[in-house]
Structure 1
Amino acid sequence: MSGFLLLLGQAIVYFVGLAYIFYKRKTIGIGVFFCVIGAIHFLETYLAAVYFIELPFGLISPGSTVMFTGKLAFFLLLYIKEDAESMRQPVYGLLVGNLLMVVLALILRLHGDPAGLPGYNSDLQFIDQIGLLMIWGTGLLFIDLIALVLIYERLGAVVTNTVPGRMFISLAIVLSFDQFFFYAGLQYVTGVPISAFYGGWIAKIGAAVFFTLMVSAYLTFVERGELRSETHTTGDIFDRLTYRHHYEKLVARVGKDPLTGLQNRGQLDAKGPAMLRVASRSGLAVSLMMIDVDHFKSINDNFGHLVGDRVLRSVAETIAAVKRDDDELFRFGGEEFVLLCPESPLDAQTLAERVRAAVERSPHPELEQSVTVSVGIASFPIDAREFAVLLKRADQALYRAKALGRNRVCDASELSALPR
């Protein structure tokens, strides 16, 4: 009875502590939750290897029964309330951290025996054993979590759509798989008896019941917001958990204009001020060109928006081909583009003319007219010292170029003095 109460007390403390940190994740950051999981991971593995209590049905380790089962339950809660991308981060962190720990321990072993201390002798062999178990356990955890989410999602489609039912069945299946393989590694390293295998499995199923009930209560009474209702295919979930290539491409597309593939306005707002700060510290200059496609509305009206889109893509490609390697090209919005040119105040007019001429020469067989652009230039620090003001000065120069007949370049220095 005392052994059962020990497990129950530890499970309650474990759940309440982690649930509170999880609940506060919006305030203190999800990283705190991840760090707590990582810190407990070592104790969990240590107890799973050396600390057992005897119950009528076998040897039970609190580390394996309470902490590991609870960790799986919280990872599933993380998936339910957040997403697969959030769930995968601590798993990769644990795996890399454990590998690094083993490498560092091996380096110490190559040094030789450490200096002796009164009443204590270091046990590097124990670190080796725990390191191997942690790598083995984290590798299994990686597989466990992929299987856990896949089973959880599949159960919602073919068996039951209730969160408690899906959670318990998912945990029971994954824990059974994990118990078999982790015991194999544990038996190889420490030689634990077979009673630790079947006793641990029974205890884990009991712990799955406990944590399922606790997570269900948490979702009912603490975080009562709607759960994610969208369904994911098996391949989609696997890709999200394992950093497959098309998710890397998705990341690469962030900050890009979908039509032209150029950097978007958000990237301009972030990179522009940063480029000016670097130039200010280095005593260098930056030129900003505001480029507008002339009479673009008439192209859309007369030839359609699909042709207009092709014109925008063609203009973007032409400017990208003319600009220098260090220049940054953005789609500002509509038919406007911005070209940021570091260290080129004297060459800005020449570069702008090259851009204008290149666009005018570009063929557009579907149109009955050539495509031209007007360009306004402003330079830091001559025309403005703040990015927002620099953008405004370039826009004023662009307006002047359009007022003079379009298909031309105008520099902000040609305008009358305005506040900078």
Structure 2
Amino acid sequence: MYLNNFLLILGEMAIYFGAMLALFRARHLIGIGAFFCALGATHFLEAYLSVAFYVRLPFGLALSPGSAVLFSGKLALLLLTYIREDAPMARQPLYGMLLGNFIIILLVALLAMDHVRLPLPRTLDVAFLGKFAALMVWGSLLLFLECLVMFALYERLSRRFHCGLWLSVSLTLLLGLTIDQIAYFTALHLTFGIPFSAGIGGWVGKLLAAVIYGGVITWYLTRVEALPAGRGRSLREVWNAMRLHRAPAAPKVAGRYDPMTGALHADQFAPVCAHLLSITALTGRPMSLLLMRVDGIEAMRVGPPPLGNGHLMRLIGEAIGEGLRTGDYVVRTNDHTFAVLTPGAAHQAGMQVASMLRARVEALGLARDGVSHTLCIGVATTPQDAQSVPDLVQIAEQRLSSARQAGANRVVGMFAG
């Protein structure tokens, strides 16, 4: 009997978490909305099973697949979303489920009014449905709190205490699931009379699920998608990233292009890069990002023609633009930095483009007061370096920094150029 129950739990874990991971991985093809919809669709079943379905365990204990499998898996998937996509993305299903459950409360309240109903063999128990909807609202509120604590704890464990990935993820899930079991089971016991043996068994099941799901997430972040660099946030910073607030208004620009250099404006970089990354995910073709900074610019803040600051950037921008391939994009990301996006260029091809652009600027012979104004360039390529805009930029910035530390007029990618 117990063996069949264990196999049931393991089978539900494999089906649920495997399917949800596949949807999460497919977000670059079909969008993350499909993953969030599937996450919300299982929310009702998860809550219903925690009220109505428990399997027996040894020592007189019991657990529900709704808690041990579905809820534990949902918490693990939200943590994965935070790690890969950051807090503004991870908060979206939390607010969606919370608001959806409040809507259910209002709809159930309307059903509780006097109506002339059609006699049916099985009638609706409005009182049960009302208590069940209130339980779902309570669970959604707890979920937000647990995610807030978990995200901050993960940052602390992985960045400050330098715990391994599996240990950081597993300990984070253990704490989140323990908080949930105490608060959520108390409501289950008081509202629906679920016995304490089920509470203890459910807690044990959640602890085991945390270890298993932690191992699967560790495998996913080491074998399927690379672990992004840490953000090192405190609890307050996580809260600021999770709470609702008005996004800052986009800067107003007179068109898409920088009038001085002819390159795209800085505010065009993120949407253009994201669009190109979505195309690379669909087609399987690579793309290289070339992040370049003008050497010697610190010694020349202002200056008159013929080689003032603005004149210098115009000459360099023209040289970069004339050296691009058809289909490449150049963006002036700030006063002294350009970014070039090269769709279809593998890393070696991106390095060749970077070396060619470096040589073109060097050939201009731009110098003032004994300081040559050349380019240092960092090259990063998707998919091997990163698969999101922030991660790709971060790798390119690291390699640009390495190029500048090595000296002026350098190109650095996976290897120095």
TM-score, scaled relative to structure 1: 0.59
Q: CA deviation at 1:194?
A: 0.9
Counterpart amino acid of 1:188? L
Measure, in 2, the Cα distance between the counterparts of 1:267 and 1:87. Answer: 33
**Moved runs in structure 1, 4+ residues, more than 6 A?**
none
**Contact 1:14–1:67 (8 Å) recurs in 2:** yes
Within 5 A, what are the aligned runs for 1:211-230?
211-223=213-225, 225-230=226-231
Measure, in 2, the Cα distance between the counterparts of 1:20 and 1:187. Answer: 35
Q: CA deviation at 1:160?
A: 3.5
SS of 1:110 mapped into structure 2: coil
Measure, in 2, the Cα distance between the counterparts of 1:52 and 1:15. Answer: 20
Counterpart amino acid of 1:33? F
**Contact 1:99–1:135 (8 Å) recurs in 2:** yes
Counterpart amino acid of 1:252? P
What residue is the counterpart of 1:147 in the other structure? 149
Q: CA deviation at 1:113?
A: 5.3
What residue is the counterpart of 1:123 in the other structure? 125
Measure, in 2, the Cα distance between the counterparts of 1:265 and 1:15. Answer: 46
Q: CA deviation at 1:126?
A: 2.3
**Contact 1:167–1:212 (8 Å) recurs in 2:** yes
What residue is the counterpart of 2:407 in the other structure? none
SS of 1:202 mapped into structure 2: helix
Counterpart amino acid of 2:112? R
Q: CA deviation at 1:230?
A: 3.3
Residue of structure 1 aligned with 2:255, choices 247, 250, 265: 265
Within 5 A, what are the aligned runs for 1:268-287?
none
Q: CA deviation at 1:232?
A: 2.2
**Contact 2:149–2:235 (8 Å) recurs in 1:** no
Within 5 A, what are the aligned runs for 1:356-395?
none
**Contact 2:49–2:64 (8 Å) recurs in 1:** yes
Measure, in 2, the Cα distance between the counterparts of 1:109 and 1:267. Answer: 60
Q: CA deviation at 1:5?
A: 1.0
Change in Cα spacing, 1:133 to 1:229, as seen in structure 2 (3 Å) is same
What residue is the counterpart of 1:43 in the other structure? 45
Change in Cα spacing, 1:113 to 1:180, as seen in structure 2 (3 Å) is farther
Q: CA deviation at 1:221?
A: 2.2
Within 5 A, what are the aligned runs for 1:202-213?
202-213=204-215
Q: CA deviation at 1:112?
A: 3.0
Q: CA deviation at 1:110?
A: 1.5
**Contact 1:7–1:66 (8 Å) recurs in 2:** yes
Measure, in 2, the Cα distance between the counterparts of 1:234 and 1:88. Answer: 15
What residue is the counterpart of 1:252 in the other structure? 248
- Show structure 2 runs of 5+ residues with no match: 259-263, 265-301, 310-333, 336-417
Change in Cα spacing, 1:300 to 1:242, as seen in structure 2 (3 Å) is same
Measure, in 2, the Cα distance between the counterparts of 1:9 and 1:179. Answer: 22
**Contact 1:72–1:145 (8 Å) recurs in 2:** yes
**Contact 2:81–2:90 (8 Å) recurs in 1:** yes
Change in Cα spacing, 1:4 to 1:222, as seen in structure 2 (3 Å) is same
TM-score, scaled relative to structure 2: 0.59
Measure, in 2, the Cα distance between the counterparts of 1:205 and 1:124. Answer: 34
Measure, in 2, the Cα distance between the counterparts of 1:267 and 1:141. Answer: 44
Within 5 A, what are the aligned runs for 1:81-230?
81-112=84-115, 114-117=117-120, 119-223=121-225, 225-230=226-231
Change in Cα spacing, 1:4 to 1:264, as seen in structure 2 (3 Å) is farther
Measure, in 2, the Cα distance between the counterparts of 1:108 and 1:4. Answer: 39
**CA-based RMSD:** 2.5
Q: CA deviation at 1:264?
A: 5.1
Residue of structure 2 aligned with 1:69, choices 57, 72, 86: 72
Within 5 A, what are the aligned runs for 1:292-307?
301=304
**Contact 2:155–2:231 (8 Å) recurs in 1:** no
What residue is the counterpart of 1:372 in the other structure? none
Q: CA deviation at 1:222?
A: 2.0
Change in Cα spacing, 1:4 to 1:111, as seen in structure 2 (3 Å) is same
SS of 2:232 mapped into structure 1: coil
